[in-house]
Amino acid sequence: MSINKKKDALLLVMAFLFASGCGTDDPLTITDKPTKKAALKGEVNQDTLRIVFYDFDRTIPVIHIFHETGGADDVSNKSDQFFVDAFGGKERINRLKRHFVRLTQAGVKCSIVSYGYTSVIKESLERVDLIDFFEADSIYGRDSEVMRRFHGIKHKVISKEMRLRGVGYEEAIFVDDSQKNIKACAEAKTCQTLHIHEEDGLTEENMVFIESGLKNK
């Protein structure tokens, strides 16, 4: 072997040892993990919740407004009393208001993913003075672009919204009275889920559970 060939072989061995990381610390060992903000006293894990995705019919109102109105896309002719009754009366409406105040004041975003018409959902919420807790672009009805794009598969709509906002599994919860929708969301491991078992929408217990920041999940 000529001197040049020996030199080439030595360089090759050195290059190999360098590339294989011989004698160096493993650079892929990352120890800096993102730190979470300390939980507020008495509100365990409250800071982990960032967004709640509610179904509408039979979750926020106690009745199924879409079915009750024959699938109408305009409910402006309905009386104020119709909406008060639909939401379970004045006392429940006040409780819902406190629920949404608590969440929004804690920085939690409230969103609706529903098979009802967007305009009907908005009109209904307006008539019982709950609309202010929902940003205009956070209500997705059957006629919304995103619901159409995902063929009404709610957990896909939720997943898209979560990705857009950089929200993780633990930071979102989907609330629905439909076992089918809840099961699909849970199976897709999109976010946490809460099935409304009662026939009459979100109960006191359900609201307390969401407000507790999901500490029991």
- Which 3 state secondary structure label does DSSP give 175? strand
Tell me whether residue 54 or residue 213 sits nearer to Mg ion (CB atom): 54
**Cα separation, 216 vs 90, whole angstroms:** 30
Helix residue ranges per DSSP H, 39-193 = 65-68, 80-86, 90-105, 118-127, 145-149, 154-165, 179-187
From 19-27, 104-112, 141-149, 169-177, span contacting Mg ion (CB under 5 A): 169-177
For 21, left (φ over 0), alpha (ψ -120 to 50), or beta?
left
Question: CB of 181: closest distance to Mg ion in angstroms?
Answer: 8
Tell me whether residue 57 or residue 161 sits nearer to Mg ion (CB atom): 57
From 15-23, 49-57, 97-105, 179-187, span contacting Mg ion (CB under 5 A): 49-57
Question: CB of 193: closest distance to Mg ion in angstroms?
Answer: 14
Tokens of 70: 């024959």
Question: CB of 117: closest distance to Mg ion in angstroms?
Answer: 14
Question: CB of 59: closest distance to Mg ion in angstroms?
Answer: 5
Question: CB of 118: closest distance to Mg ion in angstroms?
Answer: 15
154 lines the binding site for Mg ion (CB under 5 A): no
What does the per-residue mask of binding to Mg ion show for 54-93, with x meaning CB under 5 A?
Answer: -x-xx-----------------------------------
Q: If 0-12 CB within 10 Å is exposed, 13-18 middle and 19+ buried, where does residue 162 land? A: buried
In this structure, the number of other CB atoms found within 10 A of the CB of residue 30 comes to 6
Helix residue ranges per DSSP H, 37-89 = 65-68, 80-86
Binders of Mg ion among residues 126 to 145 (CB under 5 A) are none
Dihedral angle of Cα 176, 149, 107, 209, to the nearest 10 degrees: 10
- Which 3 state secondary structure label does DSSP give 203? coil
Tell me whether residue 46 or residue 158 sits nearer to Mg ion (CB atom): 158
Tell me whether residue 8 or residue 200 sits nearer to Mg ion (CB atom): 200
Q: Which residues of this chain interact with Mg ion, rule CB under 5 A?
A: 55, 57-58, 177
